[in-house]
Structure 1
Amino acid sequence: MTDRFLNLELAQARWLVVLTLLLGLILDTMMSLQDAQLLAPPMTLLFLMYWSAQFLKNTHLIAAFILGLLLDALYQTILGTHALIFITITFIMLRYRLLFRSHSVLQQALVMVFYLFVYQFLSYLLYAPILDQQQSIRFWLMPFTGLIIWPILALSLRWLTQKLYTH
């Protein structure tokens, strides 16, 4: 990352953050309508993790709570369960975000696999889904699709932020 991007404040990129989180909700809505829901990672969580790592002066816990409630409404799950999962994962990210930012994008993708495994494990505990053999394999392989998606997402958002906010 460049030094200019490191000095960017949330207030400067607020609309970009809001629009990308909204895009994440839209993508999650589209995935919930498809059969790919078990294999696709929650894009809202990926966008939230990216922005949580970028802005050091903000915690994003309120955003995690609100986005979790919106996903609970979207997936028609018990209200607050996604919020609990999102806050837990965001808290872990906040504890290690300086270390996370120091890694290359590929190393960050490996760390994101861990975060997505935490998401899947907590989802499995809270929702106790009934899965057949094929669905179970796709359910537990979801973090590895995040491994593929993270570098594309992180590099795209980095490029977009630098393009819009550094002159």
Structure 2
Amino acid sequence: GRTITREELYVIPAEASTIPAKATIALAIRTAYYPVDFGSVVIEIEDISPAEHTFTSLESLEIDNVLGKIYYDLTEATSASSQVDYETYTAIEDAKLEVTKVDTSFVTWRRYSDKYGHIPIAQTVEDETYDFVLSAGLYISVIRAAQSCLLTTKHEFIELTPVA
């Protein structure tokens, strides 16, 4: 994969005083640099004011709902009593994950989500690369093309958007 270092993804207009929703930034990353290993992404704010030119990393975290753990990406200490508030998700039962060898119709994996929305997956490095489609009735499908074995099988939360 390509390594991107401090590439400009979004510029806040002069009249704006706030940063847009995280979804806007994520969409810029996804569309311009697809495929992306999201575990390696660091979002920074660049201050180019005349007084100083600095980069500040934004604290982000990964929430593991299965193990009930929170992983912070910066080195600041956290206490055992740290809490995270986030919107709960609605599990989609019977969503279909279908994985195929890239640019073929050969299905290497097909499974459906359980009542918790979980889908097990396994693939082999020898057969990579893969395409996959995650679909469910009344939701927009998520399609990823030319994924490595690692990206295809990693543990992640994928949000399905309802059809309007």
TM, length-normalised to structure 1:
0.24
Q: Which structure shows the higher helix fraction?
A: 1
The structure with the larger Rg is: 2
Q: Which structure shows the higher strand fraction?
A: 2
